[in-house]
Chains A and B, each alone.
Chain A
Amino acid sequence: MALPHHATPEDRFWHYSSRGICFAVLAFLVLPILIIIPMSFTAGNLLVFPLPGLSLRWYQSIISGDAWIDAAKNSLFIGLASTTLSMVLGTLAASGLSRMNFALKPAIIGLILSPLLIPIVITAVGMYFHFADIGLSGTYWGLILAHTVLAVPFVVITVLASLEGFDNNLLRAAATLGAPPLKAFRRVTLPIIFPGIASGGLFAFVTSFDEIVVTLFLAAPTQRTLPRQIFSGVREYVSPGIAAVATLLIVLSALLLLTVQLLERRGRRLRGGGIVRH
């Protein structure tokens, strides 16, 4: 977007100030996250600026202690389990929904999306009481089911979007070639919507991996997860160890983000570029 030759000084002002604001806002979005990274390499005991010196001691301390490693294992286990469950239930539901055409469909989609929109504290306290009544609180199953509820909307959204441009003639072609519905799904539909399922799965994993409020209410004292560990640490004081953990998590998020971008590109190509990204 270049300025035309006939731009007045006022036009120029608006042009450059809007660009200036844009870059300032993008910096506001990214810099606070990036600034943790150098801070985590401090040699001091406090997160002060300027840094007293550089060292890897805080990374050594989080790796050598059990607390963070156990929390990471718990988070990983719960995250992978709820992601798997979300991918299965979400893909099934999305493929059913995409072929449905009746009045209830928007209501069902609304119901599936509602865990994203209902205030999380209400969901968490509701689960806290109910799961205690039925013996699920403080169990891995309780946490996995709860995280699945919060994560599954992302799978449904991405899979629905990738089915939107799906050409049903492909399935008819498979049928005329003698493939039963299940085989047609496995050999034709699945490869085409796979990027959608995978990026939905990544969204689901991040949702569970970052989840804190429901975990605070449902988890047993021994079920420490990374967010829970950070939360209790931050409430006391923010040690450089937390900055080191945060740095590792930021690297992980960046990797996942790049993967999803690549998957989306691939998904678009598989569907013949018909879908414009929203």
Chain B
Amino acid sequence: MAHSDVFDVRKSVRRSQRLSALRNSALVLPLIALLLFAFIVPILLFMYRSVDNGLLHRSFPQTNAALENWVAPAKVPEGAHAALVADLKAIPGSSELAVVARNLNNFEEGFRSLLMKTANRIPDDTPPSWKNALVEIDKRWLATDYWAVLKYQTGPLTTAFVLAAGDLKQDSDGQIIRQPPEQRLYIPLLLRTFEISFTVAVICLLLGYPTAYVLTRLSPFAAGILMIAVLLPFWTSLLVRTTAWIIILQGNGPLNGLLQFAGVIQQPLELIFNRFGTLVAMSHVLLPYMILPLYSVMKSVPESHMRAAHSLGANQRIAFLRVYLPQTMPGIGAGLMFVFILALGYYITPALVGGPRDQMISYMITYHVNEVVNWGMASALGLMLLVTTIILLVIFSRLVKLKHFMR
């Protein structure tokens, strides 16, 4: 009897715990649902576009099958030409044909015109040899390059965009090779993105460290007042801050006016729409993200440690280097990584205050979405940026307690 009583209590405690866990999950669920619907799923679908080859796969089923056992240097199999004609005839409407041609052109320059020309001149009745008929329309059908594209780029999935994002491509043998030097665009773009982000992070550290240090040493009242100077930019619209820099740094703006008035310069300096303007404006926007975590870490360093160092004979410099600095290293690392990660994805500021040589990877993504309309490429570049960011975030969350960043 006593035994079963104990048992029942245990069971009812468990049941009530299960119920409360269920209730707590139910409270979180609506938000998770929104994030899945409006954030996670859209990003995953966008990323899928980097490997999705639905259009080309749908358009060339017979050609793809006919080329299955063919490898580049060999002669294109006889049936392939008829298959290509059949596939081309099956493409509905000229607008879809144009899109298909444009997509193929991404893999081999000149494919657009070749395909459009061929599709327009296909004879209605069946000739004795489709091969001769195609070659008669355009001699380029003798070369294996275009056939290689039709073989390798018409599967259900494609690696072409992802490879292109790494300045690689598949040659006509199906081998992965580097793009010719003059066509290597994206690795230099990635490196430039890293370079700008890293420079901004270092500028923020150099400016932010002494600032956070002095703020922790002031009386709470004074620090509270001065903290407003750090928080005001935080609360001010990004566009307002960027606009402010355009106004200040422009040729006839206040800074050039002041320098000319003081006689430091004769001609206005070019301070904006170049790397200098980009670095200044981005550092201004990101500096609070450096100061706040540094301040939080520095607050936790007891002042007594410095006093102890002094009493043991260290002057300020030695005490700082040997006692203070090592204890703030987590803040330095965290601030650098945080600013770097945020800077990687910057778009608006470089777009407005940078020149053409200061654009970063985000700009190239919007360029491919809006101007070139090459969504696969936009997606592959997005994947590159996303993977880089996530890797850094994972390292970051292992290194730091996220608490310092939750204000």
Contact = CB atoms under 8 A, between A and B. Distances in A.
Q: Is the interface of B mostly helix, strand, loop or mixed?
A: helix
A115 B386 CA distance: 12
A130 B407 contact: no
Given A125-B382, A130-B46, A96 B237 contact: no
Interface in A122-136: 122-123, 125-131
B188 interface: no
B214 interface: yes
A278 B229 CA distance: 17
Interface residues of B, number: 95
A111 B240 CA distance: 30
Interface string A42-84: 0000111110000000000000000000000000000000000
Q: Is the interface of A mostly helix, strand, loop or mixed?
A: helix
Interface string A81-95: 000000001101101
B244 to A, nearest CB: 4
Interface stretch (B85-93, B123-131, B144-152, B205-213): B205-213
B341 A117 contact: yes
Interface string B8-36: 00000000000011011111101110110
A12 to B, nearest CB: 9
A146 interface: yes
Contacts of A32: 241, 244-245, 248, 284
B6 interface: no
B198 interface: no
Interface string A229-240: 011001100100
B28 A249 contact: no
B232 A254 contact: yes
A50 B287 CA distance: 29
Interface residues of A, number: 89
B343 to A, nearest CB: 10
B63 interface: no
A14 B406 CA distance: 31
A4 B233 CA distance: 35
A121 interface: yes
Contacts of B254: 35, 39, 49
A119 B247 contact: no
A234 B243 CA distance: 7
B20 A99 contact: yes
B34 A145 contact: yes
B344 A119 contact: yes
A213 B347 contact: yes
A227 B239 contact: yes
B230 interface: yes
A253 B27 contact: no
Nearest to A3: B316
B171 to A, nearest CB: 30
B27 A21 contact: no
Interface string B243-280: 11111101011101110000000000000000000000
20 contacts: A22-B215, A28-B284, A33-B244, A36-B243, A93-B27, A100-B21, A100-B24, A100-B28, A111-B32, A117-B389, A119-B389, A121-B362, A122-B43, A126-B47, A129-B45, A231-B348, A246-B243, A246-B244, A249-B237, A253-B237
Interface of B: 20-21, 23-28, 30-32, 34-35, 37-47, 49, 207-208, 210-211, 213-215, 217-218, 226, 228-248, 250, 252-254, 256-258, 284, 287-288, 296, 310, 315-317, 320, 341-342, 344-345, 347-348, 352, 362, 365-366, 369, 375, 378, 382, 385-386, 389, 393, 397, 403-404, 406-407
Closest 3 CB pairs of A and B: A119-B345, A96-B27, A126-B42
Given A7-B316, A227-B237, 19 more contacts: A8-B315, A22-B213, A25-B207, A29-B229, A32-B244, A33-B236, A33-B240, A46-B252, A49-B252, A49-B256, A89-B34, A92-B30, A93-B27, A115-B39, A126-B42, A127-B39, A160-B406, A213-B347, A253-B232
